[in-house]
Amino acid sequence: MAGVSLQCGDCGVLLKSVEEAQEHAELTSHSNFAESTEPVLNLVCTTCRKPCRSKTESDLHTKRTGHSDFSDCTSETAKPISLETPKPEPVSSASAAGAGVVEKEEEMIVPVVDAKLVEELESMGFSTARATRALHYSGNASLEAAINWIMEHENDADIDQMPMVPVSAKAEASKPSLTPEEAKIKAQELRERARKKKVEEEKKMEIEREKERVRIGKELLEAKRMEEENERKRLMAFRKAEKEEERKAREKIRQKVEEDKAERRRKLGLPAVDPTVSKPAAPVVQEKKSSLPIRPATKAEGMRNCLRSLKLNHKDEDAKVKRAFQTLLTYVGNVARNPDEEKFRKIRLSNPSFQDRVGSLKEGIEFLEVCGFEKIEGGEFLFLPRDKVDMAVLNSAGSELNSAIVNPFFGVL
């Protein structure tokens, strides 16, 4: 029996002609073809007249549309296959010249494809060029075939380039597209698939965002821990400096007491203490030096220097100095407890009570400026802007004022 089809040895599909085999080879890169006596099926739906070339295709059509009655027209369309590729008849130059034919390169145009299928693919997010190329190379048969072709060739370099074919190919009839029922069902399936894909992508993005939030949270906690550790080190250094200052003040007072004793012995006619008899020296305790770097507290040192200068400038007015310290502590405490209240952040310099308690004392206004207060309206007011309220600075100011009030040796040296 003569061969009526060509069978692909790689995938087993049956093809009607050499042209179909060439097109199949271009699309799939399959090259193993052999002549077969098995005809290509031609099952025509008696309801909508759609041709199906395989049992699988007819089952799919039945599943989508419910049409189950097919007419087998295979024997009517089967015919011996020709293995010779038709060649164009040569045109002699003489006859071409006599007929007025001018040899030129054939014009290339965009292939004709099903416009409805192009619209459906565009509605799914594909570009016009990609939709046209997919329909053309998938045989302009169905929406599913075009989608499958796009999925197989989405990495091609020319996937978004408009395909071009010779003008002669324009006359070729396009193959029948999906019925309205099939198109509706297919569009619903594709929309559902796209929705599921979007949901999965959103879940992945949410997981990534959660990981990023966790990472940022850990970094913030670590930064807070380091800041607390540095603050602890600065506080230890401050306490150590206070103790050293108290030790020096006590030593100075002890020396003064010894001098007073010697003076009283001299006035009473008692012999002076023999300086050659030395008292047992107290054991020298060698202090360990910390190897940890300590960041200088510039604001705290500035505040302490202002308070020391204020006390030294008014060393004979202890009550007035103490009242100034307590007044400054009240100003700082009011701002710390009520940072949003402007009345606590604004001080009139000409106020008699302020001038009597703080303004008339040297370094009193300077202390408030170190805390962040600024002179405004031509120097009539001291004002602390809300955005410059630093609770750490205010806390340091409170600590320095409290130390100056309760420490009897503050500012002695």
Decide if 322 contacts 402 (C-beta within 8 A): no
For 240-267, the pLDDT digits (tens) are 998 999 999 999 999 999 888 888 878 7
Which of the residue ranges 105-119, 199-213, 381-395 would you say has the lowest mean pLDDT?
105-119
pLDDT at residue number 230? 92
Which of the residue ranges 159-163, 167-171, 177-181, 242-246 would you say has the lowest mean pLDDT?
167-171
pLDDT at residue number 168? 59
CATH architecture of the domain with residue range 106-178: Orthogonal Bundle (1.10)
Decide if 50 contacts 176 (C-beta within 8 A): yes
For 34-45, the pLDDT digits (tens) are 887 777 888 888
Closest residue by Cα to residue 331 from 307, 367, 296, 295: 367
Question: What's the token pair of residue 97?
Answer: 């010249």
Closest residue by Cα to residue 182 from 69, 70, 67: 67
Average pLDDT of span 191-215: 89
CA 94 – CA 99 distance, rounded (Å): 9
Class of domain 297-413: mainly alpha
Cβ within 8 Å of residue 334, ≥6 positions away: 341, 344
For 309-336, the pLDDT digits (tens) are 888 888 788 888 889 989 999 999 999 9
Half-sphere exposure at residue 133, Cβ-oriented, CA atoms within 13 angstroms: 21
Please spell the DSSP secondary structure of 326-377, one letter per residue. Answer: HHHHHHHHHHHH-TT-GGGSEEETT-HHHIIIIITSTTHHHHHHHTT-EEET
Q: How confident is the model at residue 19 (pLDDT cuts 50, 70, 90)?
A: confident
